[in-house]
Amino acid sequence: MNPFIEILRKEHPETPILIMSKIRYARHFPGSPTTKPYFELRDFQKNLVEEREAAGDENIYFLDGSKVLGDEYYECAVDGVHPSDLGSDKIANALLYTIRSIISEN
């Protein structure tokens, strides 16, 4: 398990925790050498949340950043990395929806 999450959960047992993986960059296209490590990190984060849930943590959530910008993720950045207005809007909406869902559960 991740030590940071362990410490945070010990000090704040009821606080909802949202883990969001990185958004996709333009260089994360199929076949790119940068794509595999990107998805490995995302899967590590997702698995961490699933492990915590299986251990009984009911207040931990995962938001898949690879899906936040949609299929045209490469159009949502000014330079392939930093979100444009469109990218920022999509990130904000995804977070707003997710946080509202978490709050309504609690």
**What are the tens digits of pLDDT across the range 33-91?**
878 888 999 999 999 999 999 999 999 999 999 999 999 988 999 998 999 999 999 99
In a domain, 21, yes or no: yes
- For the ranges 25-29, 69-73, 92-96, 97-101, the lowest mean pLDDT is seen at 25-29
In DSSP terms, which residues pair with 47 in a beta bridge?
A: none
The reply to whether 10 falls in a domain is: no
pLDDT band at residue 1 using 50, 70 and 90 as cut-offs: low
Terminal-residue alpha carbon distance, the chain = 24
The verdict on residue 8 lying in a domain is no
Tokens 């979100």 -> residue? 83
Number of structural domains (the chain) is: 1
| Full domain range(s) for residue 87 | 16-105
The answer as to whether 7 is a domain residue is no
Over residues 10-28, mean pLDDT: 92
With respect to residue 76, please indicate whether it lies within any of the assigned structural domains: yes
Q: Residue 9: is its pLDDT beyond 60?
A: yes
Residue 71 vs residue 29, higher pLDDT: 71
